[in-house]
Homo-oligomer: A and B are copies of this chain.
Amino acid sequence: MAVILYGTVSLFIGMTIAFGPVPRITWDHKEIHLVHFQEPKTFNYSTLLLSEDKDILYVGAREIIFALSSLNISEKKQEVLWKVTEDKKTKCAEKGKSKQTECLNYVRVLQQLNDTFLYVCGTNAFQPVCDYLNLLSFELGGRNEDGKGRCPFDPAQSYTSVMVDGELYAGTSYNFLGSEPIIFRNSQQSPLRTEYAIPWLNEPNFIFADVIRADPDNANDDDDKIYFFFTEVSVEYEFLGKLMIPRIARVCKRDQGGLRTLQKKWTSYLKARMLCSAPDKNLIFNIVNDVFILKSPSLREPVIYGVFSPQLNNVGLSAVCAYNISTVEDVFAKGKYMQSATVEQSHTKWVRYNGEIPRPRPGACINKEAGADGYLSTLSLPDKTLQFVKDHPLMDDSVTPIGDRPRLIKRDVKYTQIVVDRVRALNGTMYDVMFISTDRGALHKAISYENGMHIIEEIQLFPNFEPIQTLLLSSKKGNQFLYAGSNAGVVQSPLAFCDKYSTCVDCVLARDPYCAWDPQESVCVSLGDSETERDWIQNIGGDASSCPASSHIAFPPPGTSFLPCVGSDSAPSPINPQFGTDCSTVMLMPPFLSDQIWHVNAHSTFLLFCQAMGPRDARFVWKKNGQNIAGVNEQSHALADGRMHLLSWLTDAVAEDSEYCCLVLSKAGNRRSKVVISVEGKLQQRQGVRSKDRARKDWEHSEG
């Protein structure tokens, strides 16, 4: 009796989606080697500081600071407890705060002061304190300086800080209630702060601060600038309810405040809107969740990367926007200001200021030009300039993103943090690789290239879907790691998982600039691991045609749980240069009918199923021996990316060999999968377990 089986489905790997890319591969935390650190009863591992010289990762958690080996964070080097006194805890509880959760010391500032000391601050039961951590003894100095203006009172409140030349610049709140926001410089010589006024800061949510050093070659002796990023309540826009707006603010390092006006206040405080929107799609991302400033010798200028989400109608959308520092500086140095006006006695409206602007320009840093005009310090600035900046801290011009649109828009994800690495690919091209964390413990690794955006992989860093609160990147040659902090612990991850790709096609189609295929050793290797990169294969565009023809295509790739993009039966080559752009159509997904074959007895029941993804009009048609079968079960689910997932199955019983075919039909194209079910006679022949490889080809099996 002849047993004939057909299995005629060919595959493409890789996909693009109409609305934002999907991660090509999802790595579960069990499938890859991640190092975890967590201590029993210790929570809120929210503050990370890396000492690349010493290979130490400092971790500030609740009531404790750790020093871990940055090469293996499970190796704890030292720790120091930093607890709240019982007395303070009691007083805090008396003010109505929770003794178990709020009236504790949450470490919020962890900054390198010098080789020997870290400057550290904690919320200390709503009485913020700062101290000096001796790195030799790993003991706190016990100074317990007042931490107001450096550290929030409330662990739930936003904060950010940056240490610049031994002085701490912090964005936080200044009082117990958290109602007084402040951008503060903790300085012996010249402590400065923001005005407590709505035009300066209006319920801000601080998320990041960093310094941009002036170009030392600049002839104008420009000042170093400290940038603050926050989302605040908009004064210039109005809709139903409070509108939030993302801001970038900056102060100058040489600022010493005014003499009379703006005494001990910033004279160089200016802020502007950060736009991150796609007007053609009516998408407005007006909440900035995190910022990273990429500084690299290979970059002409630093690039600001921000992760955003919409405030309105946000049913799961995130975006990444990138900005050139020069765009920001132009807005502050040349832009128009906004001014408020009172309308009909009771309404304050903000509009563009079109009047005369005092000189020196309000909010400008003191540089050589200002010095030449006689303004050697902000203390000598005229009242007119100071009064103007006091009343007009908000720019009318907006900071627009590179390319005037988001780098990446992603559905059904809330991005929390971002760090960016600049990587040289095998062919010398530089790529900015973005590591973006989610509120569900995952990490997206993405690149933008000439033709768009590609999410290389999704890595589940935390098994319990903990929101990732902090990301830190170590770029130390040969020891590149990413550290993520959450409420539950810290995770250390390599930047790439090249060795997980077992075939050339998989390795190349990962489109990961960190990875290349070594055809000599037949392994997917990390770039930089070896000097002999001569014949390695890499293609960030996703063309795997350079792979050796014999290369076996594992499917699904071992250890992965990803959804492949499957082409039509008539395109036999799995190596298709266009694979990355034409898969948004219709596809059948494994297991195909040919993978479901079995030999049945006459009249015993069996089940066949097909699944597909495609546009909304996609539907299944089943054929048995060429005839349509009616009433087959079918399910469809609307996927988050806008496509439909279809599943259809039938149970049947046959007396004779029968060919089954499932077709998925759509205006976008048709796909089919076939199998012949062979019926075994009364005299059974034994059939071994068929090989996976054989099942994927048309084959014929005869027996005597």
Contacts and interface: CB of A to CB of B under 8 A. Distances in A.
A202 interface: no
Interface in A254-295: 275, 277, 279, 282-284, 286
Contacts of A645: 637, 639, 645
Contact of A275 (B240, B313, B563, B604): B240
B638 A641 contact: yes
Nearest to A277: B240
Interface string A122-145: 000000000000000000000000
Interface stretch (A85-93, A347-355, A696-704): A347-355
Interface stretch (A76-84, A475-483, A588-596): A588-596
A680 B601 contact: yes
Nearest to A635: B563
A616 B414 CA distance: 14
A15 to B, nearest CB: 12
Interface in A572-615: 589-591, 595-607, 609, 611, 613
Contact of A616 (B440, B598, B642): B440
Nearest to A652: B689
A282 B312 contact: yes
A690 B347 contact: no
Interface string A433-460: 0000000100000000000000000000
B595 A607 contact: yes
B563 A637 contact: yes
A310 interface: yes
Interface stretch (A66-74, A146-154, A321-329, A336-344): A336-344
A282 B633 contact: no
Given A284-B313, A312-B284, A651-B595, A684 B684 contact: yes
Contacts of A636: 561
A288 to B, nearest CB: 14
Contacts of A282: 241, 311-314
A2 interface: no
Interface in A223-266: 236-241, 243
Contact of A603 (B313, B600, B603, B688): B688
Contacts of A647: 611, 647
Contacts of A686: 601-603
Nearest to A653: B689
| Residue of A239, A279, A596, A603 ringed by the most chain B CB atoms within 10 A | A239
A60 to B, nearest CB: 28
Contacts of A641: 638
| Residue of A312, A313, A345, A637 ringed by the most chain B CB atoms within 10 A | A313
Contacts of A638: 412, 639-641
| Residue of A241, A563, A635, A680 ringed by the most chain B CB atoms within 10 A | A635
A316 B613 CA distance: 19
A565 to B, nearest CB: 13
Contact of A312 (B310, B354, B464, B589): B310
Contacts of A680: 601, 684
Given A556-B633, A563-B637, A312 B313 contact: yes
Contacts of A283: 312-313
Contact of A598 (B315, B561, B606): B606
A664 to B, nearest CB: 15
A599 B596 contact: no
Contacts of A609: 591, 609
Contact of A343 (B315, B351, B642): B351
B599 A601 contact: yes
Nearest to A589: B635
A19 B354 CA distance: 47
A41 interface: no
Nearest to A632: B561
A520 interface: no
A647 to B, nearest CB: 7
A275 B465 CA distance: 37
A231 to B, nearest CB: 13
Contacts of A346: 351, 354
Nearest to A276: B240
Given A284-B312, A601-B684, A341 B339 contact: no
A503 to B, nearest CB: 18
Contact of A605 (B238, B243, B690): B690
Interface of A: 19, 236-241, 243, 275, 277, 279, 282-284, 286, 310-317, 339, 341, 343-347, 349, 351-354, 411-412, 440, 464-465, 556, 561, 563, 589-591, 595-607, 609, 611, 613, 616-617, 633-642, 645, 647, 649, 651, 653, 680, 682, 684, 686-690
Q: Which 7 A-B pairs have CB atoms at the shortest separation, nearest pair first?
A: A638-B640, A310-B313, A347-B351, A313-B313, A653-B689, A341-B343, A349-B349
